[in-house]
Amino acid sequence: MAMNSIKSDALEPTRAELAPLGPAERLLRRLPVFGLPLLTLALIVLFSLLLPDTFPTMLNARSIISDKAIIALLSLAAMIPMASGKIDLTVGYGIVIWHILAISLQTMFGFPWPVAVIAVLLLGAGVGFLNGLLVEVARIDSFIATLGTGTVLYALALWHTGGRQVVAVLPQGFLALNGTFVFGLPITGYYVVGLALLMWLVLEHLPIGRYLYAIGANPKAAALNGISVQRYTMGAFVTSGLLTAVAGVLLASKLRIGQASVGLEYLLPALVGAFLGSTTIKPGRVNVWGTLVGVAILAVGIAGIQQFGGSFWVEPMFNGVTLLIAIGIAGYAQRRRGARRTTLPKAKS
């Protein structure tokens, strides 16, 4: 019964708030909800008009999906702990060792590729469980705990490879995990959409999602409502670790080689996508569709700029600036949410 008191803490306007407003005011109130998707569509139209021979093509669509599907998976992995008010930096470090192990378990230890994949997924979930223990049992700040765990994973990747590439002939079934095309598009795009639908269902329509958002909003209040904060937070880290391992397997299938210098560059755009996700669709909290929109605007913006002849430094610059903007908007949304909580009771009295 206590769960009935847990409501959405996002800032999307309600019907009651929109009812007395005029058309223009309604549009302004909905702008934070749909502004970023509209901006993404505007960028697609703009680049299509300016680059008609290269941007609005199937080849470009395939390239964008192939390049950004891994980042989308990592962004979705990162947003799960974020929903509970934590951060998981191992999404960037873990993918380094998981893509290496997915290959080396087959080539160096003779594992059949399905067994190697299952082993990597279990190890990823295990690292997530360790992160959960460090954060919830040892009471270490999630940023510090996952930074430490991630650094250890990166060191293990360097030790395992000796700084060299892991190269071998891989089974066709393993390569098909990433190399298959469905209706002309990379299968990884369908993985992302399927995972997003599943996460949306769990987070928005099942109790576990409400519990995670309640923990993220106020863990003490959530505990008083009977929610096992420790259990659900640890579960969020385990799920994040599992999805990071999935991304590592797909990256190995795509690259066909393993090397410790590959993977860390995914950390920043993955976090940017998750932070941007908290500024749209349901502004004020991370959400699945907002995260995908965040990744999409990164993908479209970078692809368009690069086709205009942007230098190699454009992508990290774009990601860094976008991250600062996203954090600033998210912080503003948090302050608005806090202001709304303090003013609403006064308005009733």
pTM for this predicted structure: 0.86
Beta strands in the chain (DSSP E): 166-167, 181-182, 185-186, 257-258
In a domain, 288, yes or no: yes
In a domain, 278, yes or no: yes
Which of these, 246, 196, 232, 197, lies nearest to 91 by C-alpha position?
246
CB-based contact 134:145 (threshold 8 Å): yes
Residue 24 pLDDT: 57
Residue 232 pLDDT: 96
In a domain, 294, yes or no: yes
What six digits make up the tokens of 8? 């959405």
CA-based R_g, the chain, Å: 21
Residue 337 pLDDT: 56
Rounded to whole angstroms, how far apart are CA atoms 167 and 242? 25
**Would you report the helix, strand and coil content of the chain in percent, each value rounded to 5?**
75, 0, 20
In a domain, 240, yes or no: yes
CATH number for position 165:
1.10.3470
How many independent structural domains does the chain possess?
A: 1
Which of these, 103, 93, 116, 248, lies nearest to 165 by C-alpha position?
103
Residue 7 pLDDT: 39
In a domain, 14, yes or no: no
- Which phi and psi (to 5°) does residue 341 adopt? -65, -35
Rounded to whole angstroms, how far apart are CA atoms 318 and 314? 6
Residue 89, sorted as left (phi over 0), alpha (psi -120 to 50) or beta, turns out to be alpha
**Domain limits at 277?**
33-337
In a domain, 2, yes or no: no
Other beta carbons within 10 Å of 145: 25
- 292: three-class secondary structure by DSSP: helix
Element (H, E) at 313: none
Residue 183, sorted as left (phi over 0), alpha (psi -120 to 50) or beta, turns out to be left
Contacts of 155 (CB under 8 A, 6+ apart): none
In a domain, 21, yes or no: no
Residue 9 pLDDT: 47
In a domain, 113, yes or no: yes
Residue 215 pLDDT: 95
pLDDT tens for the chain, 349 residues long, are 333 333 344 445 545 555 565 565 555 555 667 778 888 899 899 999 999 999 999 999 999 999 899 999 999 999 999 999 999 999 999 999 999 999 999 999 999 999 999 999 999 999 999 999 999 999 999 999 999 999 999 999 999 999 899 888 899 999 999 999 999 999 999 999 999 999 999 999 999 999 999 999 899 999 999 999 999 999 999 999 999 999 999 999 999 999 998 888 899 899 989 988 887 878 778 899 999 999 999 899 888 888 888 777 877 888 788 777 766 766 665 566 556 555 544 444 3
Element (H, E) at 136: none
